[in-house]
A and B are shown apart, each in its own frame.
Chain A
Amino acid sequence: MNWCDHKLSRLPFEPPGSGMDRSGPILTLDKVSKYYEAQNGGELLAVKEVSLGVRDREFICILGPTASGKSTLLKMMGGIEKPTLGTMSLRGEIFEDGIPANKLRNFGFVFQQDNLLPWRTVVKNLRLPLEVFHSAGHGSADRIAEMLTLVGLQDYGDVYPHELSGGMRQRVSLARAMVHDPDILLMDQPLGALDAITRRMLSHELLRISRATRKVMVMVTNNIDEALLLGDRILVLTALPGEIAFEAANDIPAEARNEAIIENARYKALRALLDDIVHAQSEAGRTAGRTGGDGE
């Protein structure tokens, strides 16, 4: 079953400012930091002065040891958390206090635990963003069907989430994040909770979807192979407080990035390099007296 040449119809409604200018980055972070106030008056620094520019049609992978604040960084980009310091800008518009609610229409967020609403069927789960953005109008039914076809679940429309396997729930969560046609898709370890085989299958499917939809995607992951398969640009964060320790373009040619990526010479070199960097970071984290809590 391949849905590669699936034609994607534009949405009946045009999200504001969707005429993307090719040159400048769509989303930029300038020295963004996040402090959590601890009870004993002290402060916990989770993310330290991250500056990042996300360009159009780019797939960025963020790697890092278990506790490196990479999820917090992604949540700040998605407007779920407000940065304590630093500014962010969306298509040139500067925001001092994080992305405001009315701009979140341009973002889609995929959580690690699929986070579907158990009382809604698959179709109703996909309607949720449309209802929140008040655009659950006439075109929504086809749009939802289109999204379900994109992730290969067109027959599971009126099934409840608890009747689906982990992999299928994660695909519904992906479809839900794209149903309102956002420009930027943020994914927080989307394949983290799946078994190895489903994970391998879904990473290739994610690659196909990213090529079919041409969206900007930022993915947090702790799996180096996934990052090399999907990422155009790869960042590695240090252990807490999360700071960009390494940034590199993934120069494995696009046609080599498929099931047979293992044979690619460049893949082996990059994998060894990233392996050392990430291990060095988690080692640094451990020696700095912090045992790995559940990654923040």
Chain B
Amino acid sequence: MSNAKIRLVGLNKLFHTRFQTIEAVRNVDMEFAAGDFVSIIGPSGCGKSTIIRMIDDLIKPTSGEIFIDGRRVSPHRRIPPEVIRKIGFIFQQPNMYPWMTVRENVMLPLRVFGLRDPEWARHADALIEMTGLREQRHAYPTELSGGSMQRAGVIRAMVHKPDILLMDEPFGALDEMTREQLNLELLDIWRATGKTIVFITHSVQEAVLLSNRVYVMGTNPGRVVDEIAVDLPRPRNLKLIVSDRFAGYCELLTGRIGQVELSQIK
């Protein structure tokens, strides 16, 4: 049993609608080492959201196995609570509850998991401090900008100290400048906490800037088309975007996705 944090072996997922069966994911094998930062990129409809929801056991796979910390997640029973506590899920839209203040939103997982110990509350406040939301922590989410709401979304998924962060196109809805800003902040968080991050994105620059490895997905059926290692120096910063090696990786990835799209049209 390799020491991979998450291992997906021969994963398949079929969705049966009234008219036809859609093969969302076929025979996907993926591995995420502890502390790894891996991106999944591909056109819409290639099953990347399905895969991330299968890891989090929101969706049960039709066949294939999922190992988290070496322990097999049974396809029949619900995932045990202690394993769920290891995972933080970050959504595409900020998904803040407008009826709670920012601080209450961030502490929601603590209330659901029943972590009453004041030490957890201090941890939540530290996270709020870290992302500069301190003076807005009693504001309501509707009064915040898109960037700040998504920052709150990220730390909400980390407040119960999970080892794994599953991020489903977290910065997709933000404008370019805020997205660059949040990419850097995410890198700082990742470096400081050493969490395993599974990062879904549409943006090639984002994938190359952030991750060690990138899985390129094809569509109908959703499958892994390629796995590209990105060995750019760490720590990474904005200056990197202008360097040639960065542009090289971007072209490689864009080319690879281009081929996928072409094969999709044929």
Contacts and interface: CB of A to CB of B under 8 A. Distances in A.
Q: Do chains A and B touch in the complex (CB under 8 A)?
A: yes
A224 interface: yes
Nearest to A224: B176
B252 interface: no
A154 interface: no
Given A196-B203, A262-B251, A223 B176 contact: yes
Given A272-B242, A291-B145, A66 B177 contact: yes
B172 interface: yes
Contacts of B251: 262
A293 B43 contact: no
B175 A66 contact: yes
B36 interface: no
B145 A294 contact: yes
B176 A195 contact: no
A224 B180 CA distance: 13
B109 interface: no
Nearest to B92: A195
B197 to A, nearest CB: 19
A196 B202 contact: yes
B44 interface: yes
B43 A197 contact: yes
B44 A197 contact: yes
Interface residues of B, number: 18
A195 B147 contact: no
B169 interface: yes
B4 to A, nearest CB: 29
B247 interface: yes
B110 to A, nearest CB: 28
A184 B178 CA distance: 31
A197 B42 CA distance: 9
A262 B169 CA distance: 24
A292 B147 contact: yes
Contacts of A222: 175-177
Interface string B47-81: 00000000000000000000000000000000000
B247 A262 contact: yes
A272 B202 CA distance: 23
A37 B202 CA distance: 42
Interface string B177-199: 11000000000000000000000
Nearest to A272: B242
Q: Which of A195, A196, A294 has the most CB atoms of chain B within a 10 A radius of its CB?
A: A196
A224 B179 CA distance: 14
B202 A195 contact: yes
B66 to A, nearest CB: 27
A223 B247 CA distance: 18
A293 B202 contact: no
A137 B35 CA distance: 66
Contacts of B43: 197
B169 A195 contact: yes
Interface in B193-225: 201-203
Contacts of A294: 145
Nearest to A279: B177
A192 B175 contact: yes
A241 interface: no
Contacts of A66: 145, 175, 177-178
12 contacts: A66-B145, A66-B177, A195-B169, A196-B201, A197-B44, A197-B202, A262-B247, A262-B250, A262-B251, A272-B242, A279-B177, A291-B145
Interface of A: 65-66, 192-193, 195-197, 222-224, 262, 268, 272, 278-279, 282, 291-294
Interface of B: 43-44, 145, 147, 169, 172-173, 175-178, 201-203, 242, 247, 250-251
* Nearest 5 CB-CB pairings of A with B: A196-B202, A196-B203, A222-B175, A195-B202, A197-B202
Given A196-B202, A294-B145, 7 more contacts: A195-B44, A196-B201, A197-B202, A279-B177, A282-B177, A292-B145, A292-B147
